[in-house]
Structure 1
Amino acid sequence: MLNAEIIWSAQEFLQQEALSGWLVYDYLSSNPVFKKIITPSGHVTRPCILFIPPTGSASLLCHHVDAGKFATESEKSSPLSNLQLHIYSHRTSFIESLKAILSGSSTVAMEYSPLNQLPRVSRVDAGTIELIQTLGIAVTSSENLMQYATQRWSQEQLQGHIKTAHKLGEIVNEAFDFIEERLSTSDANSGKPGSVNEFDIAEYIRIRFKEESLESPDGPIVSVNAHCSDPHYEPSLESSSPIKMGDWILIDLWARNSEVPDSIYADITWTAYVGDKVPEAQQKVFDIVISARDSALQYLKDSFLAGQQIQGWQVDTVARDYISGYGYADHFTHRLGHSINNTVHGEAVNLDNFETHDTRHIIPGIGFSIEPGIYLPEFGVRSEIDAYMSAQGPYATSPIQTEIVLIQPK
């Protein structure tokens, strides 16, 4: 299936930027963008190239053994979704067909990032880039084109994401209630207090996902005390810390609607304390983290009202500078946020001036997380919300934690 909406959006962008076309190269699923635009009917074993010009029909170059997986696409009558199929068998025919498809082109966009500045964009191997350049054609990064054409959410996707985000908010609070219930229940025979561990809570959340028609290939993160210092810690059945009075708990959960194709993920992180009063150390770090989170979102809102177009790295800098001002710069060890799409980490702009320097603009239709964290040897704090840039400005799409949840076993 060829995604006509993506083709149209890409051509709109190509015309605005005066580019000769978008050349999408894929070999053995090395480029996820390819299958967002065109989905073969079966397994494809040889290199493929999809070329989208500023106007007219797209062209697909594929090997003879794979042509049957795309044959029906070339038979469609719509001028927008029609596909010109070019078939090669040997290396020489591949090069000659490529020359014909690119005839008249001067600069094409590809999934390439200079110096691998944005690894999420850099999907094409250096040799293929060199091949295109030997044909006398300049290659530029598709980073903004790809974002515009493939990563913007539809209104249906946005509404589905918001519903999922609020389900996650309900589930994480149910998980905290479940901890309280388990710790409040005494064993009928021994009279000993009830017990629960990290893995138990992860399993509880996975069960709730199934009940709510949510899916995720991994996670959730359920961590206690020092385990919270590992941003991507996941408990296992064999190795899982018990949860008890005086413990600090971090839960990071992400999922999407399992019943809707191309549904959008939601991704949130909340923290809790088992006891009647949060210790000063945890409270202090929590307050800094949520203030950094809120300052990032407010910066986006203020910039939008001022008519300023913001790049991903700028938002990271706002939150990072806030945390650095309290002396915790070395303990905020990851980017501020990531793109969200039908994979939990999408292909659009990240809020990042730490792991990378993401200069892509935060454009309307894009969703992302905002999740500053401070990780100390004894405990870690992260607060994660989801946000969306609409045509009317940015706003949070998920529940926002403002206070540490108190778990108080009876």
Structure 2
Amino acid sequence: MSWNDKKIEQHCRAAKLLDEVKESTFKFVRNNHQISEYEVQAHIKDEFDKKGLVTDRDNAIVAFRENTGFVHYYPTADCKKLSPDTLIMIDLWARVDEDDAPFADITWMAYSGKEIDPLVQNTFVLVIKSRDAALKFIRKNLKKGKIPTGKEIDDVTRKVIATAGLADKFVHTTGHSLGFESPHGKEFGLNWKNEHPLIKNLAYTIEPGIYFEDKFGIRSEIDFYINDKLELIITTKVQKELIII
């Protein structure tokens, strides 16, 4: 189901506020070198409250080091603390506190240290390449007047990662529609089962990831929608490099 102009505006507002929370969170980590995953998660919740953002029953994903290798990792009070040469993943989702406002959903990666491990850097570059291939594919089809299917987009991101010999490390779908009660909407997403064209004026995520269990994982997540003019509108900022803490 397409969104009206109000819902698109609410989503874009939530996306802008999430980016502000992301920036605040990385600054918080930068200024607190002994911080734990749980404390970072609490900071994010405080920032949500300050900015009038609400979320579902789950808190943000904050993962350090090998915990980034778990797709949906939620820290507890007894969790990892920041240390030198730490890979960091934060996955944030929220909506503005208004009736029937839709969610925005982002994932960003950072690194606390002076020298990034080459395998981490190369994996990050591959994930970004996969994400950008999807964006290029969507734009190419829209210029021809065609809205691609969720399966077609999923095939594109998966092919990039499979070509590098890491098909089995991409363990979830490419993306999902955004909802109102949770970040996951009810409409078909960007996955191998969806042979329907994407719905205009409805926001989706693109979030390819590569996960080496018990070692590390990389994910990049952005939001977008296709408007009535068949234009691709990206509603979140797009990560291009690892954030250095």
State the TM-score, normalizing by the size of structure 2: 0.96
Instruction: Measure how far apart 1:364 and its partner are.
Output: 1.2
Measure how far apart 1:310 and its partner are.
1.5
In structure 2, what is the equivalent of residue 365 of structure 1? 201
Q: 1:313 aligns with which of 137, 141, 151?
A: 151
Cα distance in 2 for residues equivalent to 1:233 and 1:337: 18
Distance 2:84 2:25 in 1: 16
Q: Give every structure 1 segment of 4 or more consecutive aligned residues whose post-TM-superposition deviation is greater than 4 Å.
A: none
Whether 2:14 is the aligned partner of 1:177: answer: no
Deviations 1:193-225 (A, max 9, x none): xx2100000000000000000011212000011
Is residue 168 of structure 1 aligned with residue 18 of structure 2?
A: yes
Contact 2:206 2:222 in 1 (8 A): yes
Counterpart in the other structure of 2:190: 351
Counterparts of 1:292 and 1:162, CA distance in 2: 24
C-alpha displacement of 1:362: 0.7
Query: Shift of residue 360 of structure 1?
Result: 2.0
TM superposition shift of 1:394 = 1.7
Shift of 1:349: 2.2
Query: 1:153 aligned to 2:3?
Result: yes
CA contact (8 A) 2:3 2:201 kept: yes
Shift of 1:288: 0.4
Shift, 1:352, TM fit: 0.1
Q: Which runs of 5+ in 1 are unaligned?
A: 1-150, 184-194
Q: Counterpart of 2:223?
A: 386
1:288 match: 126
**Which residue is 2:39 aligned to?**
200
User: Does structure 1 conserve the Cα–Cα contact (< 8 Å) formed by 2:106 and 2:222?
Assistant: yes
**Secondary structure of 1:227 counterpart:** helix
CA contact (8 A) 1:297 1:395 kept: no
1:165 is paired with a residue whose SS is helix
- Structure 1, residues 71-95: CA drift from partner, whole Å, max 9, x if none? xxxxxxxxxxxxxxxxxxxxxxxxx
- Which one of 86, 99, 107 corresponds to residue 269 of structure 1? 107
- Partner-residue secondary structure (3-state), 1:267: strand
Cα drift, residue 348 of structure 1 = 1.3
In the TM superposition, what whole-angstrom CA distance separates every residue of 1:233-268 from its partner, at most 9, and x where no partner exists?
00012x31111111100000100011x101110000
1:305: Cα distance to partner?
Answer: 0.5
Do the aligned residues in 2 keep the contact of 1:164 with 1:255 (CA within 8 Å)?
yes
1:309-338: CA deviations, max 9, x gaps?
Answer: 311111000000011111110000000000
1:301 and 1:349 map into 2 onto residues whose CA distance is 20
- Name the counterpart of 2:86: 247
Separation of aligned partners in 1, 2:160 and 2:16: 28
The residue type paired with residue 206 of structure 2 is I
SS class of match (2:32): helix
- Alignment-mate amino acid for residue 249 of structure 1: I
Considering Cα pairs closer than 8 Å and 6+ residues apart, tell me whether 1 or 2 has the greater RCO. Answer: 2
Give, as a single letter, the amino acid of the residue that structure 2 aligns with 1:345. H
Which of 137, 151, 164 is equivalent to 1:326? 164
Q: What is the CA distance between 1:363 and its match in structure 2? A: 2.3
Partner of 1:16: none
Count of aligned residue pairs for this structure pair = 241
- What secondary structure does 1:315 align onto? helix
- Give 1:232's match in structure 2, choosing from 72, 83, 102: 72
Asked whether the 8 Å contact 2:138–2:147 carries over to 1, the reply is no
Q: How far apart in 1 are the matches of 2:102 and 2:88?
A: 27
Q: CA deviation at 1:297?
A: 1.3
Structure 2 gaps of 5+ residues are none
How far apart are 1:395 and its partner, in Å?
A: 2.1
Read off the aligned partner of 2:106 and give its amino acid letter. I
Secondary structure at 1:339's aligned position in 2?
A: coil
Q: Is the 8 A contact 2:85 2:115 kept in 1?
A: no
Whether the 8 Å contact between 2:13 and 2:96 is mirrored in structure 1 is: no
Aligned counterparts of 2:210 and 2:186: Cα–Cα separation in 1: 25
How far off is 1:157 after superposition?
1.1
Question: Are residue 375 (structure 1) and residue 211 (structure 2) matched?
Answer: yes
1:276, distance to aligned residue in structure 2 (A):
2.0
- Equivalent-residue separation in structure 1 for 2:188 and 2:228 (angstroms): 17
Identity percentage over the alignment?
A: 32
Instruction: Check whether the contact 1:331–1:374 (CA below 8 A) recurs between aligned residues.
Output: yes
Q: TM-score, normalised by structure 1?
A: 0.58
What is the letter of the counterpart of residue 164 of structure 1? A
Which structure: larger Rg? 1
CA distance in 1, matches of 2:221, 2:70: 15
